[in-house]
A and B are shown apart, each in its own frame.
Chain A
Amino acid sequence: MRRLLVWMAVGVMLSALTPIALANGWNMPVGVTALSRDIYSLHMIIFWICVVIGVIVFGAMFYSLFRYRHSRGAKAATFHEHTSVEVIWTAIPLLILVAMAVPATATLKTMYDASEADLDVMVTGQQWRWRYDYLGEDVAFTSNLSTSREQISGTSEKGENYLLEVDEPLVLPVGQKVRLLLTSDDVIHSWWVPDLAVKQDAVPGFVNENWVRIDEPGIYRGQCAELCGRNHGFMPVVVEAVEPERFEEWMAKRKEAAQQEAMSADREWSLEELMARGEQTYGAVCAACHQPDGGGSPPAFPALAGNQALLEEPERHINVVIDGVAGSAMPAFRNTLSPVEIAAVVTYERNAWGNDAGDTVQPSEIAERLAAQGE
């Protein structure tokens, strides 16, 4: 009976796990950087060391369990210590560990050498999106989850890259050393892409450093790895690695778009234009907390729909969006959103979901205000 149960247990586990392990990625990815391959080989070495020790220890144990059974009339020996054996099995693991520490130390030293980078990117974690600044290039954008709410709630079919897709990926050139400078605007986040073997905490008030040199063009997906609040699971990282020429083209296009956005702040925007743009921005930036219907989730995140204070005090409304609310989860969007986006989102919030302020906030007003405060 007992033996039957043992085999049943083994059978259930093997039959359940084997096909799954084979059908899916079940091991650490080898990755696409020299470092990721080093880390993978460290992982496999220590894994096989564990397997060998496991086979020896469990082998000796199960041999004893089988061979020295009371039911087979085994008589217990009386020995209970053996100094030389004890010294040997203290010393051998120690030697194995020293042997393991040598390559681990070498890899770690390489990981910590972020000097002489070709490109610097500032990565800023925000509840719950990533912001990327190409330092010295005047190109910056935020990267939001692009999986639809319907897919998450199950009312529509889940796509291939469910929860691992964003509106704008971080674009990096292959073959170049990219230094990543990580920080956060609110809580601690952690930027992780398994294929790049880069995982680094983004800590508010501090700047951490890491680096990556990608060998192959491709799209590499990861997620925030440090619990950062309710949408921690919905904060993917997507890196698109492209050839350096394509990277230059992309960079030029981004710069042009940024200039146009800055220029469009000068003209007069209609209510319809602002509402359309505002809905977009609201969905990407605000809806995670204040909900798509403006209902919020009190007490942490107040409702915006039907919010009298908001409707009656447009000045304060604008200030809250620009400067945030100290001591609360509401961040300052001064550096995150453009004047057009701030104007649009404020206009949207004042006129959507039955809110009927009827007024518009012009991008030029916001630009002036930001310029005045900047002085």
Chain B
Amino acid sequence: MASHLPPKPTPQHSTTTAGGMAESGHARPRGLMRWLLTTNHKEIGTLYLLFSLTMFFIGGIFALVVRAELFQPGLQLVQPEFFNQMTTMHGLIMVFGAIMPAFVGLANWMVPLQIGAPDMALPRLNNFSFWLLPVAFLLLLSTLLMPGGGPNFGWTFYAPLSTTYAPPSTSFFILSLHLAGISSILGAINIIATILNLRAPGMRMMDMPLFVWTWLITAFLLIAVMPVLAGVITMMLMDINFGTSFFNAAGGGDPVLFQHLFWFFGHPEVYIMILPAFGIVSAIIPTFSRKRLFGYASMVYATAAIAILSFMVWAHHMFIVGLPLVAELFFMYTTMLIAVPTGVKVFNWVATMFRGSISFEPPMLFALAFVVQFTVGGFSGLMLAIAPADFQYHDTYFVVAHFHYVLVPGALFAILAGAYYWLPKWTGHYPSVRLSQWHFWLSVIGVNLTFFPMHFSGLAGMPRRIPDYALQFADFNLVSSLGGFLFGASQLLFVLVIIKCVRGGEKAPAKAWEGAEDLEWSVPSPAPLHTFETPPTFQPREH
């Protein structure tokens, strides 16, 4: 945990706003070149966040195409081929283009500030990892315009639908995923190097803010599993172009092997998308409860336990693929075990609030909604872990409801909470309270209208990824579609909040929130381009 009180901003460890340019010793490029060549962690962080926001809207539009088609039974707006491309691209863009880069952006901005480092450990690599992303996603989006269309086999791209039966553009999809994967690995290396080497003198590992801890663990997960993804898509590439038969039964291969490899990557991947969210919420709840985080050490251990378990549960995505009984039992037990450390986290957050002094600023609203809604997603996750019941839940809208609850009102709300929490540090202004509250409440209503009915349509028997459905699912889908459009439209308010916040608004002091404790609140708001050029003195808090 960080120091009791933020160290006073003294000239010793923080320069003023204009300082960066004058002291860098050479003229900084301007305009486009400034952003293309920047090696500054804050600028790169901003680039990541803006990129992620753009992808969030593109992926959101794809989702709305899906929801519009599902508004009522029958095929009205799009044909099944295009529908499948929309569900696939929505998933790929949101996972690899929106959620992951948003967390990397937050890490770029906040990890150096929270550990008192002047920048990321490998600034040029940082630039490269960001600029790989626009290339990767332009390539991915361009497949929609190619003959035969873009990827249409779901974001999990199961072989042989994604190999023998795939559209010709699949090789481009593979290349774009390779680029995004390289970007993730490089980013993860950079974050690990920064955290392990550049902490302020006196800051031990167990003094680090939880956002730093969760990101450290996430970065190790990324390094462990992105190469597995790279391997599996390379095998696909070989099957498609060079006549190998890794996943083709007719040539001696095994379509189920694809799923083992994919989910060995894929399950840690879903924790990659939630662990940093735990870190953000673990910063916000103590701040607005004006009370230290309950059970700091157990939070760290729980995060590590979840990360380790994530390598032992992958086949719970494959309960109906024809695994032997012993494998089913093993993966059912390990999956149920995950509920324990996850429960510890939720209990700790609640215990932090208990006997606190709680106020409800916008970041806290989003963090509280995260706790409740993520827990709902956790409950359905526990239900899905029960292998016999999964034979009914699997591949239905119940699963769609589950993973959207952990990813949208879960991970995404944590990202929004983080954005509201740190916007004063980024821009020097508080976001408009009134607009933020509208954004919050419309988002909460929209997101629950969209995803809660999906539990029901799934239990009632609606499979996922279908462009048209039987009549008994019509009412649930109508509500989901209306909710989806409400949620999508209310995210425009978020853009408005950001624009207004950048341009002006109530000025924020260095310590923008009364109960905030970590090092980032010791530098001025907005944070100058260069901070902690000499390391701050860090006072560990008594444990």
A residues within 8 Å of B by Cβ? 2, 5, 9, 12-13, 16-17, 20-21, 23-29, 38-39, 42-43, 46-47, 50, 53-54, 57-58, 60-61, 64-65, 68-71, 74-82, 85-86, 89-90, 93-94, 97, 100-101, 104-105, 107-109, 111-112, 127, 151-154, 158, 160-164, 186-188, 190, 192, 194, 197-201, 203-206, 208-209, 221-234, 297, 299-300, 327-329
Contact = CB atoms under 8 A, between A and B. Distances in A.
B74 A108 contact: no
A336 B328 CA distance: 34
**Top 10 A-B pairs ranked by shortest CB distance?**
A205-B249, A233-B466, A208-B322, A50-B379, A80-B292, A77-B355, A70-B359, A26-B456, A225-B395, A76-B291
Contacts of A199: 320, 391-392, 394-395
Given A20-B453, A54-B375, A76-B290, A203 B347 contact: no
A90 B344 contact: yes
Given A17-B452, A81-B294, A300 B356 contact: no
Contacts, number: 315
A152 B80 CA distance: 11
B389 A68 contact: no
30 contacts: A2-B437, A13-B445, A24-B460, A27-B460, A43-B389, A50-B382, A57-B375, A60-B354, A61-B353, A61-B372, A68-B354, A70-B359, A76-B289, A76-B290, A79-B355, A80-B291, A86-B295, A90-B344, A101-B336, A108-B328, A108-B332, A187-B164, A200-B322, A204-B250, A224-B463, A225-B395, A232-B463, A300-B148, A327-B164, A329-B164
B355 A108 contact: no
Interface stretch (B39-47, B137-145, B151-159, B217-225): B151-159
A228 B332 CA distance: 26
Interface in B36-84: 73-76, 79-81, 84
Given A20-B476, A26-B459, A232 B445 contact: no
B312 interface: no
B465 interface: yes
A233 B453 contact: no
B325 A109 contact: yes
Given A5-B437, A192-B395, A229-B161, 14 more contacts: A16-B479, A26-B460, A42-B386, A60-B350, A68-B356, A78-B292, A79-B294, A89-B344, A90-B340, A104-B332, A190-B320, A194-B461, A201-B320, A227-B161
Given A86-B298, A234-B468, A54 B379 contact: yes
Interface residues of B, number: 106
Q: Is the interface of A mostly helix, strand, loop or mixed?
A: mixed
B388 A39 contact: yes
Interface in B423-464: 437, 441, 444-445, 448-449, 452-453, 456, 459-461, 463-464
A108 B356 contact: no
A108 B470 contact: no
B383 interface: yes
B6 to A, nearest CB: 17
A20 B461 CA distance: 15
Contact of A152 (B74, B386, B394, B476): B74
A68 B383 contact: no
Nearest to A160: B471
A17 to B, nearest CB: 7
